[in-house]
Amino acid sequence: MIKKIFSEPLSHFLLIATSFFFIYNFISPAPVDENSVTVTSGRIDQLKSRYKKVWQREPSEEELAKLIQNYVLDEIYTIEGRALGLDIDDGVIRKRLRQKMEFMLQDMAAITPPTEQELNDFYLQQQDKYKNPPQYTFSQRYFSLDTEQAELIAVIELQQERIANKLAPQGENTLLPEHLKAATSFEISKHFGRSFESALQAAPLNKWHGPVRSGLGLHFIKLEQIIDGVLPALAGVEEQVLADWRYHQNITFKKRFEEKLLEQYQIKIQQEQSVGN
């Protein structure tokens, strides 16, 4: 129960937001009287250093006085503007507030490291990503569809005869490798197109087989070995799993946070019933 409440994104957010609030108040206490503006020495230091950054020198006394006066006016305008309700419905302010909140959310997601159980669950759930891919060792001979159909049929029949006589088929000379050793799905689709792996899976072992179709044309294949994909132990890929967990946590954390927020509000959408399309 405790754990559950703690892992709620909204609670995280509130915890951190409040600490911000307290720290801020501690550093620069707000003016007490509604009609007064206090410029603290910390604020003056900040104005100075900002000036220094732009102009690469200290402001003169006169310049500092102007900076302070300008700051005071900023404050007064802000108070007066708020009193007039000018901050309400201001697109710029709204967008800034949302961005600030989103930024606070961003890394909060991964503040608490996952428990062993959580990490293991995540690893099993995403296991396809960590699995060593299956590997295929095979020979292939290629025949393009560029030749006339009758000629192509004759060529294919000739190869089938060769195979029957225990001879290897003779393919066209192209940029395709004739023998692939422990090739992964990625490598196979890079050479032969995305549909070719399934043809290999269906092929018999140590026997010329075909013709089968690829993204390039026709092939005879002789499959020598398939090494099934295995899932390595978590210890061997933990660093990657942890990085992925953080990445996913960021995404789901924000989604859950927004869902929670939406739950706390009654949303009424007063949309006119549209007529036609």
Partner 1 sequence: MVKSKISIALALTLTLGVQGCTDKTQDKAEATPKVDEASTELMAKSSQSDIAINPTNDVYFGNFHIHTSYSFDGFTNGSVTNPDDAYRWAKGEAIPGGGTGGDIQIKRPLDWYVVSDHAEYMGVFKQMSNPANPISQLPIAKRITSKDQAVAFKAYSEVNDGMNAGISDPQLTDPKVTKPIWAEVVATTESHNEPGKFTTFPGYEWTSAPDDRNLHRVVVFKNATAIPELPFSTIDSNKPEELWAWMDKQRANGATLFAIPHNGNASDGIMFPENKSFGGSEMNTAYSDARMRNEPLYEMTQIKGNSETHPDLSPNDEFSAFEIWDYTLSPSAVRPTNRVGSYIRDALLRGMKQEAEGKGNPFKYGLIGDSDSHNSASSMEEDNYTGKFGMENDANHRLNGLPGFPEANNVQVREFGSAGLAAIWAKSNTREDLYAAMLRKETYATTGTRIKVRTFASFNYSMGMLEKANWLESAYSDGVPMGGDLSAANLQGAQSTAPILVIQALKDADGANLDRIQVIKGWVKDGQTFEKIYNVALADDRKVDSNGKVTAVGNTVDAKTATYKNTIGDAALSTVWKDPDFDSKVHAFYYVRVLEIPTPRWSTYDAATLGQVPRTDIPVSIQERAYSSPIWYTP
- C-beta separation of 152 from 172 below 8 A: no
d(CA 22, CA 26): 6
Identify which range of 3-11, 32-40, 151-159, 204-212 contacts partner 1 by CB under 8 A.
3-11
Q: Among residues 79 and 176, whose Cβ is nearest to partner 1? A: 176
Q: Among residues 125 and 204, whose Cβ is nearest to partner 1? A: 125
Query: Helix 61-83 to helix 41-55 angle, to the nearest 10 degrees?
Result: 110
Determine whether 198 is exposed, middle or buried from the number of CB atoms within 10 Å of its CB (0-12, 13-18, 19+): exposed
Q: Among residues 33 and 116, whose Cβ is nearest to partner 1? A: 116
Helix (H/G/I), strand (E/B), else coil: 182? strand
Q: Among residues 202 and 243, whose Cβ is nearest to partner 1? A: 243
d(CA 228, CA 225): 10
Q: Among residues 77 and 103, whose Cβ is nearest to partner 1? A: 103
Identify which range of 15-23, 33-41, 57-65, 205-213 contacts partner 1 by CB under 8 A.
15-23
Which H or E run contains 274? none
Starting at the earlier edge strand, list the strands of the sheet with 217-227: 179-184, 135-144, 217-227, 208-213
Q: Among residues 204 and 225, whose Cβ is nearest to partner 1? A: 225
Q: How far is the CB of 252 from partner 1 (least distance, A)?
A: 13
Work out which of 53, 57, 166, 268 binds partner 1, going by CB under 8 A. Answer: 53
What letter would DSSP give residue 174?
S
What letter would DSSP give residue 171?
-
264 binds partner 1 (CB under 8 A): yes
85 binds partner 1 (CB under 8 A): no
159 binds partner 1 (CB under 8 A): no
What letter would DSSP give residue 57?
S
Number of alpha carbons in the 13 Å side-chain half-sphere of residue 42: 7
Work out which of 34, 146, 151, 272 binds partner 1, going by CB under 8 A. Answer: 146
**Amino acid occupying residue 139:** S
Q: How far is the CB of 105 from partner 1 (least distance, A)?
A: 11
149 binds partner 1 (CB under 8 A): no
54 binds partner 1 (CB under 8 A): yes
Q: Which two tokens stand for residue 261?
A: 């927020």
Q: How far is the CB of 133 from partner 1 (least distance, A)?
A: 10
Handedness of CA 53, 55, 60, 61 (dihedral sign): negative
- Bin 276: left if φ > 0, else alpha if -120 < ψ < 50, else beta: left
40 binds partner 1 (CB under 8 A): no
Residues found near partner 1 in the complex (CB under 8 A):
2-3, 5-7, 10-12, 14-15, 18, 20, 50, 53-54, 56, 91-92, 94-96, 99-100, 102-104, 112-113, 115-116, 119, 144-146, 172-176, 181-182, 186, 189-194, 196, 214-217, 232-233, 235-236, 238, 243, 247, 264
